Amino acid sequence: MRILADENIDYPVVRKIRDSGLEVLSIMELYQGENDNFVLSVARELDCILLTNDKDFSDLVIRQKLQHRGVILLRLSSTGGNSSHCYKSPAFIWRTDC
């Protein structure tokens, strides 16, 4: 499984997933500042599941029915006043090939 991390996914999250053995590409490393349509098309071209913190992708994959390999909406919550994150389960996983 290949994953494309959207630019709103913090690098520590990308590193943690990479450290677990999964292949993770990052929009921050490939293309910065591109719109959601472009990001989704890159994920599709690279045959990646998109990992994002952006709920706007639901409009693209549900309402507009744009093709995709899969989209995972990851929600993180900060703990107190420090910069560490508490990892929650993915809120949504949209798949077209199920």
> Are the CB atoms for 61 and 94 separated by under 8 Å?
yes
Domain region containing 31: 2-94
Cα dist. 64→37, 57, 58 in Å? 11, 10, 9
Number of domains in the chain: 1
pLDDT on residue 51:
95
User: Rounded to an integer, what distance in angstroms lies between the CA atom of residue 86 and that of residue 25?
Assistant: 22
Strand partners, 85: 78
CA atoms within 13 A on the CB side of 31: 12
- Confidence bin at 95 (pLDDT 50/70/90): very low
pLDDT on residue 83:
47
User: Rounded to an integer, what distance in angstroms lies between the CA atom of residue 27 and that of residue 4?
Assistant: 7
What's the predicted TM-score (pTM) here?
0.77
pLDDT 10s digits, 4-49: 999 999 999 899 899 999 999 999 999 989 999 999 999 999 999 9
pLDDT on residue 77:
62
